[in-house]
Amino acid sequence: MFNSKDVKKILIMRWGSMGDLAICSAVINDICKHFSDVEIQLNVEPPWDKLFQGYTRFSKIHNIKVRKAPRLGSTRAWLSMLRREKFDLIIDLQCNDRSMILLNLARLFGIAPKYRMGTKSGLAYNLEASPYGEKVHALEILRAAAKGLGVDCQTEQPVLSIPNEYQQSAEALLRENGLQAKSFAVLVPGSSLSGAKKRWGVKNYTAMAELFFEQGVESCAILGGPDEIELCNQLADRIGEKAVNLCGKTQLLEIPVIAEQAQYMVSNDTGTAHLAAAADIAMVVICGPTDASRVHPIGKRVATLQAPMECFAQHPAEQCMAKVSPSQVWQALENL
């Protein structure tokens, strides 16, 4: 039987990617509010620990690389951290084979916390998560663990605490490129190379930019990571002088600041969109082979448009993604 009075120190685990952690930040915020008088630490993988560096609620952030790391070394590091910190409760929001193996090893060595909660049941856990249905959004799965602890989950968008240095550097970047508040739209044409089928395509983003200009938007800022520079360059060349190519020039915590200053944002299903959802901006995310109902960024002003998923089994991804038109995107933005 869980007794919250026994809990003085909590570890929240979530390794995931940028998009996963942006969604997870909403649940983490609810957990921190519920356990307001309890010491809380966070276990994430680098470089995503940077997303929480301004979040003063955590007494420590353990950026231990577990996935795609030498198994023996990462296991030793993680178990040593557990032995040293002596937690009363672990909330496993990763809840995969790897995290369950680590928790079971902790049980075997007698260093597991008294209480262990995951998003699903298993030998590694001794607390029951709240039930959820099949094919639900990632947010509801994460909330299952929090609700099982009695947490009232109310947060509906990512919660990031952005240090002043990133606020100032993002604003300086906007000034240097002549981007005035609410005068520009943000375009995110890329995705990871492994997710190239999720891209809406340069042709569609160019048409979207032209539609923005017709509606009085002065310019389009293009965001992307280092592996998307060639794609962003192609789009900037197609759009012309009204394009401001910021691809590869931004830091993680500058993205929500830039998004906050923009009038609109259009993106593929990518981590950048999840991070930008922390800002108050009208955003449309275009999903293709991924199910929008399960992966869309969370936020009050976020809409998703779904390319027909069955199309991708029979036709090239470019042809399927083109079934979402710029006019549909504009209509969705207006509805927001």
Amino acid code (one letter) for 209: A
Q: Which amino acid is at 23?
A: I
20 phi-psi bin (left φ>0, alpha ψ -120 to 50, beta other): alpha
Residue 159 lies in a domain: no
Q: pLDDT at position 68, please?
A: 79
> 3-state class of 125 per DSSP?
coil
Domain containing residue 212: CATH number: 3.40.50.2000
Tell whether 142 and 234 lie within a shared domain: no
> Is residue 143 domain-shared with residue 219, that is, in the same domain?
no
- Look at residue 85 and tell me if it is in a domain: yes
Tokens of 201: 């395509």
Q: Which residues pair with 191 in a beta bridge?
A: none
Bridge partners, 62 (sequence order): 43
Which of the listed residues 148, 180, 215 is the one where a domain comes to its end?
148
Measured CA to CA, the distance from residue 198 to residue 207 in angstroms comes to 18
Confidence (pLDDT) at 208 = 98
In this structure, what are the phi and psi dihedrals at residue 278, rounded to the nearest 5 degrees? Answer: -70, -20
The answer to whether residues 8 and 68 belong to one domain is yes
Q: What per-residue confidence (pLDDT) applies to 225? A: 87
Beta bridge partners, 118, equal 92
Which pLDDT belongs to residue 319?
Answer: 93
Structure tokens at 58: 């955590």
| Alpha-carbon gap, residue 295 to 302, rounded angstroms | 12
Residues 170 and 250 in one domain: yes
0.95 surpassed by pTM: no
Percent of the chain beyond pLDDT 70?
99
The answer as to whether 154 is a domain residue is: no
Residues 198 and 269: beta-carbon distance below 8 Å: yes
In a domain, 153, yes or no: no
Q: Which DSSP state fits 91?
A: E
DSSP string of 248-308, one letter each residue: T---GGGHHHHHHH-SEEEEESSHHHHHHTTSS-EEEEEESSS-HHHHPPP-TTEEEEE--
| Residue 193 reports pLDDT greater than 70 | no
Averaged pLDDT for residues 180-209: 91
User: Helices (H), strands (E): how many in the chain?
Assistant: 12, 11
Task: Based on the fold, state whether residues 67 and 110 are members of the same structural domain.
Answer: yes
The residue out of 94, 113, 148 marking a domain boundary is 148
224-271 pLDDT, tens digit per residue, is 988 899 999 999 999 999 999 999 999 999 999 999 999 999 999 999
Which of 148, 173, 199 is a domain's end point? 148
Residue 6, pLDDT score? 95
Distances (CA, A) of 334 to 108, 249, 275, 283: 56, 29, 22, 10
Q: 124 and 69 share a domain?
A: yes
Six token digits for residue 85: 């910190």
pLDDT score, position 191: 82
Assigned token pair, 259 = 């998004």
My answer on whether 142 and 181 are in the same domain is: no
> Do the domain assignments include residue 88?
yes
DSSP class per residue in 142-164: HHHHHHHTT------S------H
Q: Are residues 189 and 315 in the same domain?
A: yes
Measured CA to CA, the distance from residue 75 to residue 7 in angstroms comes to: 25
Residue 89 near residue 11 (C-beta atoms within 8 A): yes
Spatial distance between the Cα atoms of 330 and 335, rounded to a whole number of angstroms: 9
- Tell me which residue range forms the domain holding 43: 4-148
Q: Is the pLDDT of residue 30 over 90?
A: yes
Assess if residue 158 is contained within a domain: no
**Could you tell me if residue 199 is inside a domain?**
yes
Token digits of residue 84: 């040293």
Please state the domain count of the chain. Answer: 2
Kindly state whether residues 132 and 168 are assigned to the same domain. no
- pLDDT of the residue at 152: 97
244 plus 274 within the same structural domain: yes
- Answer yes or no: are the C-beta atoms of 57 and 27 closer than 8 Å: no
* Structure tokens belonging to residue 20: 């996963």
| Distance in angstroms (rounded) separating the CA atoms of residues 146 and 107 | 22
> Do 250 and 126 share a structural domain?
no
Q: Are residues 65 and 9 in the same domain?
A: yes
157 in a structural domain:
no
Give pLDDT, residue 194: 60
